[in-house]
Amino acid sequence: MRWFLLSLLRGVGKYRYAARAMVWWSPAIALGLSVIGAAVGRGDGFAIPVQATTILMAISIGSALDDPSYELLAPSPSSLLRRRGWRVLVILPPTAAAWMALVSWQGTSGSEETWTLTAMFAGLVGLSLGVAGAVGRRSGGRGGPVVAPVILFALILSSALPRMWRPMPLGDVPGGWSALYIRWWSVAVVGFLILLMSSRDPARRGVLGASGTKSLRSS
């Protein structure tokens, strides 16, 4: 029992250290703007305010991976994946809870729209983390500022395509609700995979560099 309590406390402590090191301004700004948007657009029956809440809350998550001590902590025993995992565990539950509260406050037209918004939130969270992870790996842990412009660019580019080919649809597409679910969940999977790929040990060779390692060993 004592061991269980100690391990629980240690787990909470890790949360605390990760939370203390994170930048909370972006989620705070997103939450503030979303509350204002929800209060203004509540009950008017349009999808735009709920979608705007979803997009704002989701893209603010990317800044959680910003780590000014990225270079300093690179040789620490705690791997990059584990350090990023703690940060995601810290930011995701409160943001998802706030998003759910805001969406239920604004109201949706039915369960299909709610599930589509959930898929959109998951997709944008995945993409946000993926972009922040990939850019952060190349810029010393500072990928957060690039997330929102990249997602804005992707959303605009997607909207410019014919409805049939939109990977990130903000409106109706051929195939109905199921097509919307599939596309947004696909975006979530792709984003999450990018995050995993970018969170590999920075000292290891790239995926395509395995043969290079072998040749070095053989020589």
Partner 1 sequence: MSSAQGYAYSSRRVMMALANFNGRKLLVSWGLIAAYGMALLGTGLFVAAGVTKDDVSFVDDGWTVAVGFYIFALFTMVATNHAALRDRRECTSEQHQSLSADSRIRAGGVVLATAWPFVVATGLLGVIIASTAVWLVVPSGVQLMAVIQTGIFVATLGTLGVALATWVPNPFVAPVVAFVLFIVQTPEVPASWHVIFPLAHLGSVPLAGWHTIYLLGLTAIFAGIALARSGARRSVVAALLVGSASVGVSVAVMITQVCVGSSCLF
State the Cα–Cα distance between residues 149 and 133, nearest whole angstrom.
15
**Contact present, 204 and 197 (Cβ < 8 Å):** no
> Considering beta carbons, is residue 74 or 146 the nearer one to partner 1?
146
**Which residues in the 151-170 window bind partner 1 by CB under 8 A?**
152-153, 156-157, 160
Of the candidates 117, 138, 156, 120, which has an alpha carbon nearest to the alpha carbon of residue 65?
138
Residue of 19, 21, 35, 52 interacting with partner 1 (CB under 8 A): 52
Listed as own residue / partner, the contacts of 102-110 with beta carbons closer than 8 Å and 24 or more positions apart are: 102/34, 102/35, 102/38, 102/53, 102/57, 103/50, 103/53, 103/54, 105/38, 105/42, 106/38, 106/41, 106/42, 106/43, 106/49, 106/50, 106/53, 107/42, 107/43, 108/50, 109/45, 109/47
8, 29, 193, 210: which one contacts partner 1 (CB under 8 A)?
Answer: 29
String of contacts with partner 1 for each residue 113-142, x by CB under 8 A: -----------------------------x
Can you tell me which of 26, 53, 118, 198 binds partner 1, judged by CB under 8 A? Answer: 26
Stretch that binds partner 1, among 3-11, 22-30, 119-127, 171-179 (CB under 8 A): 22-30
CB of 24 to partner 1, least distance (A): 11
Tell whether residue 148 is a contact of partner 1 (CB under 8 A): yes
Residues 58-97 that bind partner 1 (CB under 8 A): 59-60, 63
Residue ranges that bind partner 1, judged by CB under 8 A: 25-26, 29-30, 33, 48, 52, 55-56, 59-60, 63, 142, 144-146, 148-149, 152-153, 156-157, 160
